[in-house]
Amino acid sequence: MGRFKIVATAAVSGLLGMAVAAALTSYASWSRVVSDEQSLLKIFSERAMKNVENSLGQGRAAISSLAQWDGEFCSPEHVAFMRRITINTRAIEEVRFTGNDTQCNSWGDEVGNNKEPEVDGALGDGFELALRAEPHIQGIDPITLVRRGPYSVIINTSRLSDVILNEQLNLAIFYQNRIVSGLRVQDAVPWADVMSRQRERDDSHVYAVTKRNGWAAVVAEPITALPSSFKQELLRALPTSLIIGLLIAALAAKLFSQRRSPLSELKSAVQQREFVVHYQPIIALNSGECVGAEALVRWIRPDGSMVSPDKFIPLAEDSGLILDITDQVIKGVVDDLEQVLANNRGLHIAINLCAEDIKSGRFIAVIETALHNGLISHEQIWLEATERGFIDIDAAVGSLQKAKALGFHVAIDDFGTGYSSLQHLQRLPIDVLKIDKAFVDTIGTSSASSSVITHIIAMAKTLNLQIVAEGVETEAQANYLKAQGVEYAQGWLYSKALPAKDFVNFLG
Ligand code: C2E
Ligand code: CA
Ligand code: CA
329 lines ligand 1 (CB under 6 A): yes
Measured at the CA of 405, the angle between CA 399 and CA 409, to 5 degrees, comes to 80
Which of residues 172, 197, 226 is at a domain's end? 226
Cα gap 278→215, rounded to integer Å: 95
How far apart are alpha carbons 39 and 52 in whole angstroms? 20
Cα 373 to ligand 1 centre (Å) = 29
- Residue 278 has a pLDDT of 98
State whether 329 and 410 are in the same domain: yes
Task: Specify whether the CB–CB gap between 348 and 382 falls below 8 A.
Answer: yes
Protein residue closest via CA to atom 8 of ligand 1? 296
Q: Are residues 328 and 213 in the same domain?
A: no
- Same domain, residue pair 340 and 463: yes
* pLDDT of res. 20: 81
By the 8 A CB rule, do 349 and 333 touch?
yes
Is residue 152 domain-resident? yes
Pairing between strand 306-307 and 466-470?
unpaired
Residue 378: what pLDDT? 96
Q: Which atom of ligand 1 is nearest to the CA of 322?
A: 44
Q: Which ligand is nearest to the CA of 280?
A: 1
Confidence class of residue 228 from pLDDT cuts 50, 70 and 90?
low
CA of 471 to the centre of ligand 1 (A): 9
Let me know: does 489 contact 285? Beta carbons within 8 Å: yes
Question: Can you tell me which atom of ligand 1 is nearest the CA of 308?
Answer: 26
Q: Are residues 212 and 295 in the same domain?
A: no
Confidence of residue 55 (pLDDT cuts 50, 70, 90): very high
275, 313, 327, 441, best to mutate for ligand 1 pocket (most atoms within 8 Å of CB) = 313
Mean pLDDT (whole number) for 295-302:
95
* Residues 209 and 272 occupy one common structural domain: no
Return the ligand 1 atom nearest residue 497 CA: 11
Choice from 279, 280, 296, 356 to test ligand 1 binding pocket (greatest atom count within 8 A of CB): 296
Minimal CA–CA distance to 476: which of 452, 450, 451, 440? 440
Q: Over the stretch 195-213, which tens digit does the pLDDT of each residue have? A: 787 778 888 888 999 999 9
Q: Is there a contact between 278 and 499 (Cβ–Cβ < 8 Å)?
A: yes
**Residues 326 and 385 grouped into a single domain:** yes
How far is CA 54 from each of CA 89, 149, 183, 292, rounded to the nearest angstrom? 11, 21, 18, 113
Kindly state if the Cβ of 310 falls inside 6 Å of ligand 1: yes
Kindly give the distance from the C-alpha atom of residue 150 to the centroid of ligand 2, in angstroms, as a whole number. Answer: 125
Q: Are 111 and 98 in contact (CB under 8 A)?
A: yes
Q: Band the pLDDT of 122: cuts 50, 70, 90.
A: confident
Q: What is the mean pLDDT of residues 421-425?
A: 73
The CATH number linked to 363 is 3.20.20.450
How big is the chain, counted in residues? 508
- Asked if residue 91 is part of any domain, the answer here is yes
Contact (Cβ atoms closer than 8 angstroms) between residue 383 and residue 329: no
Average of pLDDT values for 455-475? 94
Same domain, 221 and 271: no
Same domain? For 390 and 297 the reply is: yes
Do 207 and 288 have their domain in common?
no
Q: Is the CB of 307 under 6 A from ligand 1?
A: no
**Contact between residue 183 and residue 171 where contact means Cβ atoms under 8 Å apart:** yes
Give the C-alpha distances (Å, rounded to integers) separating 153 from 70, 127, 131, 282, 477.
Answer: 18, 11, 12, 125, 128
Q: What is the pLDDT of residue 164?
A: 86
Q: Which residues contact 376 (CB under 8 A, 6 or more apart)?
A: 334, 337, 338, 341, 342
- For the CA atoms of 111, 117, 121, 126, what is the dihedral angle to 10 degrees? 30
Which residue CA neighbors atom 30 of ligand 1 most closely? Answer: 309
Distance 88 CA to ligand 2 centre (A): 118
- Could you tell me if residue 238 is inside a domain? no
Q: Is residue 253 in some structural domain? A: no
For 353-386, letters b (16+ CB in 10 Å) and e give bbbbbbbbbbbbebbeebbeeeebebebbbbbbb
Atom 46, ligand 1: which residue's CA is nearest? Answer: 352
Q: Whose CA is nearest to atom 38 of ligand 1?
A: 296
**Is the CB of residue 309 below 6 angstroms from any atom belonging to ligand 1?**
yes
- Residue 41 domain flag: yes
Are 160 and 305 found together in one domain?
no
Q: What angle (nearest 5°) sits at the alpha carbon of residue 112, between those of residues 106 and 114?
A: 95
Could you give phi then psi for residue 427, rounded to 5 degrees?
A: -80, -30
> Does residue 69 sit in the same domain as residue 156?
yes
Q: Among 177, 211, 226, where does a domain finish?
A: 226
Vertex 244, ends 227 and 2: CA angle to 5°?
A: 135
DSSP states along 232-243:
HHHHHHHHHHHH
What range does the domain containing 419 cover?
Answer: 265-507
Contact criterion met (CB below 8 Å) for 294 and 303: no
Q: Is the CB of 416 under 6 A from ligand 1?
A: no
- Does residue 98 sit in the same domain as residue 203? yes
Q: What's the confidence (pLDDT) of residue 217?
A: 93
Question: Is the CB of residue 156 below 6 angstroms from any atom belonging to ligand 1?
Answer: no
What tens digit of pLDDT does each residue of 478-493 get? 999 999 999 999 999 9
Last residue of a domain, one of 208, 226, 244: 226
In a domain, residue 49? The reply is yes
Q: 32 burial class (0-12, 13-18, 19+ CB within 10 angstroms)?
A: middle
Which strand ranges, in their side-by-side order, compose the sheet holding 121-124? 103-105, 92-98, 151-156, 143-148, 127-133, 121-124
**Ligand 3 center to residue 262 CA distance, Å?**
25
Is 70 a member of any domain?
yes
Amino acid letter for position 15: L
Cα(278) to centroid(ligand 2), Å: 12
The answer to whether the beta carbons of residues 496 and 462 sit under 8 Å apart is no
- The domain tally of the chain equals 2
> Tell me, what's the pLDDT at 145?
86
Q: Is the CB of 497 under 6 A from ligand 1?
A: yes
Answer yes or no: is 237 within a domain: no
Q: What is the pLDDT of residues 342-353, one digit of tens each?
A: 999 999 999 999
Q: Kindly report the average pLDDT of the chain as a whole number.
A: 88
Q: Determine the residue of 324, 325, 352, 383 to mutate for testing ligand 1's pocket, defined as the one with the most ligand atoms within 8 A of the Cβ atom.
A: 352
The predicted-structure confidence for 320-377, as pLDDT tens digits, reads as follows: 999 999 999 999 999 999 999 999 999 999 999 999 999 999 999 999 999 998 999 9
